[in-house]
Amino acid sequence: MGHKNIMIIPLYTHAETLPDFLQTSDFGVVDSTPEGLSLVFDNDILGLKDFSQPKVGAVIVDFTADAIAYRASRSSIKNEAIAKAAGLKGNTETHIIDATAGLGRDSFMLMTLGAQVSMLERSPVVAALLQDGLRRAEASRQLGPDFTQRLQFKPGQAYTLLTEWHEPKPDVIYLDPMFPHKKKSALVKKEMRLFQQLLGHDEDADVLLPPALTLAQKRVVVKRPDYAPFLAGETPSMQIKSKKHRFDVYLTNA
């Protein structure tokens, strides 16, 4: 980020003080946040910044970033564990709800692999970052004219949205709740450290599994660290493992 035209937005701010594209009820008001964290609107990019760590850059959502684009360009249904877990097939389009979207990276990967993805996010702050990333990606036109149709966003509590879903049922529901790291490490990415500082851990994640199992037509996929217990104590139908994570797959056949 540069240093011109910077707007610092404390996280307890009200929506009227936000840039025009964020002046919606989707952002709302955040009443209680860790001291030092702020949203920073710098050179038309919204980021989450911890001013107690001035050497650490802001966390942003950038769907056109080199690293993301590089991985996406080299990814295929055959070599990505997430694609196998979601049951993606090249000849059919799969509708996936990512109920814990976060920075949207898994959603973006699923989209590049051919899925249509609906992202859900309950944190107003993270939702603001996602909205900004989608806005800039659409404006850049690097990701094709159908980008916003294939990767959509709905702010709100996942449990409420899943239980009150009135649109066509998704084929797959994807859950990646935050889970405590096994031990503190300098290798933990800056965005994960900031997210844990901002949001804590998803202690209520277990409640998402029942409505997800009810709504998904084919399967529910839960991404977990390799040392984490099953979500809600439910044994999955099968597992797909990667280097640091596993995907617990619950077949629904709804």
Q: Is 105 annotated as a binding residue?
A: yes
Confirm whether 107 is domain-assigned. yes
Q: Is 66 annotated as a binding residue?
A: no
Give the model's pLDDT for residue 176: 95
- In DSSP terms, 7 is beta-bridged to 41
CB atoms within 10 A of CB 15: 15
The residue to which tokens 């609107």 are assigned: 41
Q: Is 31 annotated as a binding residue?
A: no
CATH number at residue 154: 3.40.50.150
Confirm whether 101 is domain-assigned. yes
State the average pLDDT for the chain. 82
Distance of CA 22 to the CA centre of its chain: 18
Q: What is the Cα–Cα distance from 235 to 217, expressed in whole angstroms?
A: 19
Q: For residue 196, what pLDDT band results from cuts at 50, 70 and 90?
A: confident
Confirm whether 112 is domain-assigned. yes
Q: Is 74 annotated as a binding residue?
A: no
For 16-62, write each residue's pLDDT tens digit: 445 555 554 344 434 344 566 888 888 888 888 888 888 888 889 99
Confirm whether 97 is domain-assigned. yes
Q: Is 246 annotated as a binding residue?
A: no
pTM: 0.85
Confirm whether 237 is domain-assigned. yes
Write out the residue range of the structural domain in which residue 103 sits: 66-186+200-251
